[in-house]
Amino acid sequence: MIVWINGAFGVGKTTTAGLLVERLPDAKVFDPEYVGYLLTQFVDSPTGDFQDLPLWRHLVVETMSGLAREYPHPWIAPMSLINPAYREQILDGIRADGVELHEVVLTLPEEQLRARIDADQVDVAARQWRHDHVARALTTFAAVTGAQLVDASQPPDQVADAITMSIRSVPRR
């Protein structure tokens, strides 16, 4: 199973992923960003965003599906997919490979999201980039269907507990 944690940049996906690993036996985090870092060592994205590279999206589907097949334990993927077409391509591609995928979208009102971005002292260099993508992310995630929406204004432990309980209540294929 893959738990894809989606949401705006800076909403708390990485924190939530770490807490889920503590709650789900044998779970591991795989951040699809690493595929982008690898790929951009060899090719440039005309837009500066590796998500705009078709090969990145293809490799994410193949990597996540392969990990789930070859190493069958829960995989946690903390990655914002704010382009609806890319989200559909990647998540539907993983599902088409026969992999169980549970998508969670962490939500926050804009004011709280911007305050959280400003308060982040770990990735200060990404602050402006995150702010620049808030409006698009909020628009995208307001229209999302087929995902579990989780209020990220709760304490991180409560967010992780809510996701864990929902995953455990879903019947396995």
Determine the pLDDT at residue 126. 87
Amino acid residing at 117: I
Q: What residue ranges in 114-155 does DSSP mark as E strands?
A: 148-151
Buried b (16+ CB within 10 A) or exposed e, 57-91: bebbbebbbebbeeeeebbbbbbbbbbeebbebbb
What percent of the chain shows pLDDT beyond 90? 90
Q: pTM above the 0.85 mark?
A: yes
| pLDDT higher than threshold 80 for residue 137 | yes
For 90-114, the pLDDT digits (tens) are 999 999 999 999 999 999 999 999 9
The residues pairing with 77 across neighbouring beta strands, listed in sequence order, are 4
Residue 125 has pLDDT above 90, yes or no: no
Question: Whole-angstrom Cα distance, residue 23 to residue 42?
Answer: 37
